Chains A and B, each alone.
Chain A
Amino acid sequence: MAFEGLSDRLQSTIKKIKGKGKVSEQDVKEMTREVRLALLEADVNFKVVKDFVKRVKERAVGQEVMESLTPGQQVIKVVKEELQALMGGEQSKIAVADKPPTVIMMVGLQGAGKTTTTGKLANLLRKKYNRNPMLVAADVYRPAAINQLETIGKQLSMPVFSLGTEANPVDIANQAVAQAKEEHHDYVIIDTAGRLHVDNDLMDELQQIKADVNPNEIFLVVDAMTGQDAVNVAESFNEQLDITGVVLTKLDGDTRGGAALSIKAVTEKPIKFAGMGEKLDELEAFHPERMASRILGMGDVLSLIEKAQDNVDEKKAKELEEKMRSASFTFDDFLEQMGQVRNMGPLEDLLGMLPGANKMKGLKNVQIDEKQISHVEAIIQSMTKQERQDPSLMNASRKKRIAKGSGRSVSEVNRLLKQFEEMKKMMKQMTNMQKGKKGKKGKGINFPFM
């Protein structure tokens, strides 16, 4: 496999030293070599890796690891700590200007995702901070780039300032800020054209815009899949524009995202946000500690837990637990549960966040068809209230009616009924088991499908 996590990589070395009472310097050398390979495979720049491995080695050769009973795990721990130290803490605050509007400039290479991120950021500002942003279409070069931003503006019902493709981007930015002042927008987000960091003319243009509108934030938008070149890109943009932060896009892919580490190391600017999907609400605060786990291939359990906490109503979860215990779980409850799990986002994403889920045989290619979930919902919604409470009422003619109402076949209705009965049985068993273990009551979240 191309992608092996650090823990997998260290397995063989760990096995070798397991029987030994003490770890030799040679063992540590082998382990740090694996660390190096893991980071390189994750696209961390080789120079950054070099410095990093040196630090890990120093600590590892010291007492910390060599005298530990579990040296392999100690190495991972040291690596993780060093990674976290390098990545810094979470910083997702957006500047606020003393005198509105606050101006944000979006810059980056072609295809990094500037326009989409502009829309997402505006959406976040409105939803989370209750702001009233205006979007500015300053990409006059790429065909239909203005059109793209206007479509996004329409989707968000937000104003988009544009002067067409003939205007100068510097003029566009100036006029946009003036108009935002007049119309009392508190944020202006300028979407600039993608450009190479070695394109002097276009880099000058950005400097000109910066000098004129005096932005409070300059966000460098970087594709999370970027390889070794991330260092050059980040360094150039930072040198020429003194960026204030980074947005990492396409993190919902399967890339390890080592570029994050490279960028942080060379610019020392915080990575503030992460693009987690194509929808306009899929921009999240960047979590450095989770990124560290991801680069090392340890899954993203924390994100999963947080997602669950955000979306599952605790009171409802308690009620549900009660129902499960008393086996009075009905189709109505089932429907509600499905809704809650769905709120957490695509189920595939949830599976992807479990460490090792991509390695488990059965789960590797599990793909949960969102359509099938809709079908199940349709079937339940076609049941009467009584039927939902008491599935034993079902007979042939009722099933036929439900099938007709939901547009599914009778056999699908049958399958769902069977599955539901089995689920109820299982719940009963599970709750009985929990009763056995006194005091260890099911705390936390219940996933009916997992």
Chain B
Amino acid sequence: MSFFKKLKEKFSTNEQETDVSEKYKEGMAKTRGSFSSKINDLVARYRKVDEDFFEDLEEILISSDVGVATVMELIDELKMEVKRQNIKDSQKVKEVISEKLVEIYYGDDDEAVEELNVQEDQLSVILFVGVNGVGKTTTIGKMAHKLKEEGKKVILAAGDTFRAGAIEQLEVWGERVGVEVIKHNAGSDPAAVIYDGVQAAKSRKADVLLCDTAGRLQNKVNLMNELSKVKRVIEREIPEAPHEVLLVLDATTGQNAMSQAKTFSEATDVSGIVLTKLDGTAKGGIVLAIRNELNIPVKFVGLGEKVTDLQQFDAHAFVYGLFADMLEAE
């Protein structure tokens, strides 16, 4: 069965999944529009699969922020595949492209990598890290809502003691969602706030503690050390914690996202990515490269400003969103 048919079947037989894919389609309408219409254009323009075809394909992928190295690799693999299967028709190449994309997403892992590691009967600690302005605090608000809806007792720790108004911002989210926020004064030691957060979560028998941290650029060594310290404080209190370290990435970010993923992983051993602002025209293609090079999976995507606009990442739905036009055209 071809990849498209498999996808189509998956979404037409399962009601619940249709909802998910609708959400993706809605949020990614612009993304999908530009990406797949480009591939369609390309396919329409070229009858033959030749060097020009690949050069243009390369450009499409680059314009989606996939990253030069990954694009090169992908194009090389495609060229080989085309040769091996002796494909002359550009329509068929389309299928190979999307198969390769999904392959990169999943690699050797099964699809459970997107599950959030939340323990059933004990406290789970999730640490949020990232550069300035990617949407850490907003993501925490949305995730607190999500977890509370699932019946979990959630506590937030206001570890961004640096940016003006950050603590208040998290407090507003706490009120909106109806969860407690542990905080100190602005300017105090973030590790101390997180320590108090862990203690409070333990004593109140919370299920999940979500820890906010200040945004920091990854080349500020001292600030990255501060972050490592925050993680150590959590580890000291609960040996297997933090259960997740989520790097929040802005989908509009270009190649620097790779440097962010690398450096934040070195400092805090990142376990997953939250890709925010995917409801704009940015394509977030860099997650392909990050997954490919660093093997860090995307766990959630931010698809809008509403509290419910945080969705668990689903590579099939993601790719479906990218290629929906092509699927429907078939």
Contact = CB atoms under 8 A, between A and B. Distances in A.
Interface of A: 2-3, 37, 40-43, 45-47, 109-113, 115, 141-145, 147-152, 155, 196-198, 223, 225-230, 232-233, 250, 252-256, 258-259, 278, 348, 352, 365, 367, 369-370
Contacts of A348: 220-222
B220 A227 contact: no
Contacts of B169: 142-145, 147-148
Contacts of A253: 131, 217-219, 256
Contacts of B168: 143-144, 147-148
Contact of B217 (A110, A252, A258): A252
A110 B259 CA distance: 21
Given A225-B253, A250-B131, A278-B163, 11 more contacts: A2-B255, A46-B59, A109-B277, A143-B172, A152-B164, A223-B253, A227-B252, A228-B63, A254-B256, A278-B162, A370-B222
A40 B132 contact: no
A367 to B, nearest CB: 4
B250 to A, nearest CB: 6
Contacts of A113: 132-133
B159 interface: no
B62 interface: yes
Contacts, number: 157
Residue with the highest number of chain A CB atoms closer than 10 Å, among B64, B164, B172, B176 = B164
B224 to A, nearest CB: 9
A22 to B, nearest CB: 27
B171 A144 contact: yes
B286 interface: yes
B133 A111 contact: yes
A198 B280 contact: yes
Interface string B61-104: 01111001100000000000000000000000000000000000
A258 B254 contact: yes
A246 to B, nearest CB: 15
A196 B279 contact: yes
Contacts of B259: 2-3, 254-255
Contacts of B286: 227
B30 A223 contact: no
A196 B253 contact: no
Contacts of B30: 198
Residue with the highest number of chain A CB atoms closer than 10 Å, among B132, B218, B222, B225 = B132
A41 B62 CA distance: 9
A152 B165 CA distance: 9
Contact of A40 (B62, B164, B171, B253): B62
A258 to B, nearest CB: 7
Contacts of A197: 280-281
B32 interface: no
A226 B305 CA distance: 20
9 contacts: A47-B63, A144-B172, A147-B165, A151-B164, A196-B279, A223-B252, A226-B253, A228-B62, A370-B222
B135 interface: yes
B21 to A, nearest CB: 21
Contacts of B132: 111, 113, 250, 278
Nearest to B167: A144
Contact of B280 (A149, A229, A352): A229
A365 B224 CA distance: 12
A326 B169 CA distance: 59
Nearest to B214: A278
Nearest to B293: A2
B280 to A, nearest CB: 5
A365 B221 contact: yes
Interface residues on B, range: 35 or more
A109 B252 contact: yes
Contact of B221 (A40, A232, A367): A367
A171 B164 CA distance: 25
Interface in B177-206: 186
Closest 5 CB pairs between A and B?
A227-B254, A148-B165, A111-B133, A143-B172, A43-B254
Contacts of B172: 143-144
B143 to A, nearest CB: 15
B283 interface: yes
Nearest to B71: A40
Interface string B223-263: 00100000000000000000000000010111111110000
Contacts of A255: 254-256, 259
A43 B63 CA distance: 9
A34 B168 CA distance: 48
Given A46-B59, A196-B279, A253-B217, A111 B135 contact: yes
Nearest to A262: B254
A227 B255 contact: yes
B210 interface: no
A369 B138 CA distance: 32
A229 B217 contact: no
Contacts of B144: none
Contacts of A151: 164-165, 186
Nearest to A154: B164
Nearest to B31: A229
Contact of B252 (A141, A147, A226): A226
Nearest to A42: B255
B165 A46 contact: no
Contacts of A233: 252, 280-281
A86 B178 CA distance: 52
Nearest to B286: A227
A255 B260 CA distance: 10
B282 to A, nearest CB: 4
B317 interface: no
A52 to B, nearest CB: 14
B70 to A, nearest CB: 11
A229 B63 CA distance: 8
